[in-house]
Structure 1
C-alpha cells in the first residue's frame, strides 16, 4: 500500500492549542504524515464540537468538560456521548488508527471503534502510572490500566514506547513483547536550535525581561510535583551562581518573591524555542515521564542537560560525561547546577553534545517513516 492516499486516524485526548507534550507530538506526527501524502484526521477534545482543517490535517473535536484539569491538575477531559459514534464513523473510513496513551476516554472509544470496524490500530504509550499526591488519582490510574488499558495494549498491531520503564510497564499490562517497539519522538531541529550569536541571546533575554549577566537555568513544563520544579526551588540559593527561569502553568505562587527566580508564563511553541536560546542550562528533575519532549527540545537547542537518572533512559545510550543524570535529590541537584554555573567550558562541551545527539537521533522524518511502515503492516516483526 502506498503512502499517498493512506487514511490515518490519530487519537489524542488533547491537541494544540492546548499545551502539553503528547499533543505536541501528535501535532508533529499529523503534519509529517500529511506531508508524505497521507490523509490525516485527528480525533480530540474541545470546548465544543467542531471540524476544522489545520496545516493540511482534518481536526475533529468532540465537546468535552475539562474541569478536572482546571480544578485538580488532572488532564482527563470528560467527553460528550457523541465520542463513540464519532470514533466509529472515523475508524470506518480509516486504513489505520493510531491511539496515543491508553488512559483516556478518547483512547478507549477509538480502540473499541477500531475493533468493531476491524481497522488495525497501533498505540503509543507515553508514560506508566504517574505519581500524584492524591491516593484516589493513583488508584484510578491503576484500575484503568488494569482493565481498559490492558485490552487496548493486547489488541494493538504495534505498541510504541519511549523508554525502557514504559516498555516494561506495557508488557506487564498485556502488550505482547514481539509487538513492542522503542520509538523516540522527533524534534524540529530548525525551530529548536542554538542561539546563532551572543547578540541573539542578549536580545532574547531583553525581550523576556531576563538578566543579561547571569547564568540562566531553564525549566519548561507544568509546575506540578512530578516535574520536580519544587526540587529546583529547594536547590537554589541566592549565592548559587545562577538564576532559575520557569516556563509553564501550575503552582506559580511558589515562585513569587524569590530572588533569582523568573517566570515567563505558559508560552507558545515558538516562544518556548526562544526561551531555550535565551538560557544556558536545561534542568528537569522529573519522575516517571518516559523521555520528555522538553528534554529533546532542549538538546536540539544545544543546552547542557541536567535531569533524573531514570533507568528507563537506557535505550538512548546517553554519554554520562556529557549529560548530568542525577538522583532525584536536592543536594545532588544543587551541587550539579552550581558546578555547571561555574564552568563555562563544560557547558559548551555538553551543549555541543546535546545538539549533535538530537540531530542524529530525533529526526522527525525517520519517526514518520517508521509509523508508516507499521500502519501498512510492513514493519518487521
Structure 2
C-alpha cells in the first residue's frame, strides 16, 4: 500500500500522543514494505522533504505555535488546513497514494483532506482519539457551540473512521457514522522500552502522571491519599503540568500529610516517566474523561497495580480490564482502592500480560488490516467485523 498520513505535528519534532501513533504505525508499515508519507508542518531542520525511519516526511506548511495560552490555536489549524490542501490535492490527483489517514483533532485538516480527495479514488481514513461533546462547554465556554458544530460536521464528513477505543467509537456514533462503520484500533506502547527504562534513585509508593487539568481529578487523588496516609507510611509522586497545578499545590499544603506528596512537574525525558512507573507500586489515575488512557497501559507494562476511575466518559475499563482496580470517582472510594492495592492485593489478570496487547507491533498490524480493507472496499463502508479493538 501507499499510505499518506496528514497531521500538522510530526514526531519526534513534536512529542504528543497523536503524532507518536502516526510515527509508530507508519514506521512499522514502512518496515513491512509499504510506502509511507507524512504531510505536516516543517518542524525539522533541512529540506522540506526528508526520509526518516523509512517514511517520507513532506512539509506543506512552515512551523508554527500550536497553542494560545493553554488552548490549541484555531488559527494554526485553519492555516495548516489551507496550506495542505493544494499540494495534497495535486498528489492525490496524480494517484500517488492508495489511502490517506487524517488525525482528529484538530478538525479542519480532516475537512481539507476530504476536499483534496474529491474526484479521486483515494479513500479517507480518520483517527478519532476523543469525542468532546459537552466538554466543549468547559473548554470554550460561551464559544462552545463552534466546537460542537465543527466536531459534528467532521463526524458526518464521508470517511472511514477509526476510534482508539470502543468508548470513543460509541461517542462518535452518537453524532455521526453508524457504530458498525467505526473500526477500533487502540493506541500503543513500546513494552520493551518500558521494561528497560532506568529506575530513579528513589521512587514513590503511588504515582500519577498526566496533564494537570480538571477532569484528571488529581484533587480527589490528593484527598484520598491523605486518608490513606493516616495509617500507612507511604508517598505520592505527581508528574505533570497544566492549568490546575497552582491550585493543586495549594491543596497539597493544606493536607495533614503534605510532606508525603511531591510534585515533580513536567519531565522532559519520557524514559524518566517510565522509570518512575517501574519504581512505583501503584499507579493511580482518577480521570473521568479518557479517549483511551495511555498512561494506564504504560503503568501496566511497568508492572504497577493500576487504580482508575470507572466512568462512562472514560475508556479506562477497556484498557485495564481485570488487570487493575476500577473505582467510583470519589475520594472515599479511591482511598479504599488505594489501600487494597498498597496492601499487596494483585489484580485477577497480570498487568504485564494485559499490556502486551497494546504493544505497537500488535497495534500496527491492526491498523494495517483496517487500511488494507479500506483500500479493497472501493469506498464502501467496512462491515462490523472490521472492529479490531480489544475487549476487557
Shorter-chain TM-score range: 0.7 to 0.9
What is the rounded CA distance, in whole Å, between the counterparts of 2:42 and 2:234 in structure 1?
40
Determine which of 246, 255, 269 is the counterpart of 2:249: 255
Aligned residues: 352
Structure 1 runs (4+) greater than 6 angstroms displaced = none
Contact 1:103 1:144 in 2 (8 A): no
Contact 1:306 1:325 in 2 (8 A): yes
**Which secondary structure does the structure 1 equivalent of 2:193 belong to?**
coil
Residue 224 of structure 2 is matched in structure 1 by 235
Change in 2 beyond 3 A, CA 1:247/1:63: farther
Q: TM-score, normalised by structure 1?
A: 0.80
Task: State the shift of 1:104 in Å.
Answer: 2.6
Contact 1:218 1:282 in 2 (8 A): yes
Task: State the shift of 1:309 in Å.
Answer: 0.8
Contact 2:296 2:306 in 1 (8 A): yes
What is the rounded CA distance, in whole Å, between the counterparts of 2:146 and 2:36 in structure 1?
32
Change in 2 beyond 3 A, CA 1:351/1:10: farther
Q: Does 1:7 align with 2:2?
A: yes
Q: Does 1:307 align with 2:308?
A: yes
- What runs of 5+ residues in structure 2 fail to find an aligned partner? 384-392
Residue 110 of structure 1 is matched in structure 2 by 113
Contact 1:232 1:330 in 2 (8 A): yes
Determine which of 143, 161, 164 is the counterpart of 2:163: 161
Residue 275 of structure 2 is matched in structure 1 by 274
Task: State the shift of 1:127 in Å.
Answer: 0.8
What is the rounded CA distance, in whole Å, between the counterparts of 2:242 and 2:319 in structure 1?
32
Q: 1:303-356 deviations in whole A, cap 9, x for unaligned?
A: 111112134649838544x42112222222233223423x13x2xx33971101
Q: How does 1:316-327 map to 2 (within 5 A)?
A: 316=318, 319-320=321-322, 322-327=323-328
Q: What is the alpha-carbon root mean square deviation over aligned residues? A: 3.0
Task: State the shift of 1:143 in Å.
Answer: 1.2
Residue 224 of structure 1 is matched in structure 2 by 213
**Which secondary structure does the structure 1 equivalent of 2:195 belong to?**
coil
What is the rounded CA distance, in whole Å, between the counterparts of 1:339 and 1:8 in structure 2?
47
Change in 2 beyond 3 A, CA 1:351/1:107: farther
Task: State the shift of 1:102 in Å.
Answer: 5.3
Task: State the shift of 1:177 in Å.
Answer: 3.3
What is the rounded CA distance, in whole Å, between the counterparts of 2:33 and 2:25 in structure 1?
13
What is the rounded CA distance, in whole Å, between the counterparts of 1:244 and 1:278 in structure 2?
12
- What runs of 5+ residues in structure 1 fail to find an aligned partner? 1-5
Determine which of 191, 194, 197 is the counterpart of 2:193: 191
Residue 351 of structure 2 is matched in structure 1 by 354
Change in 2 beyond 3 A, CA 1:319/1:249: closer
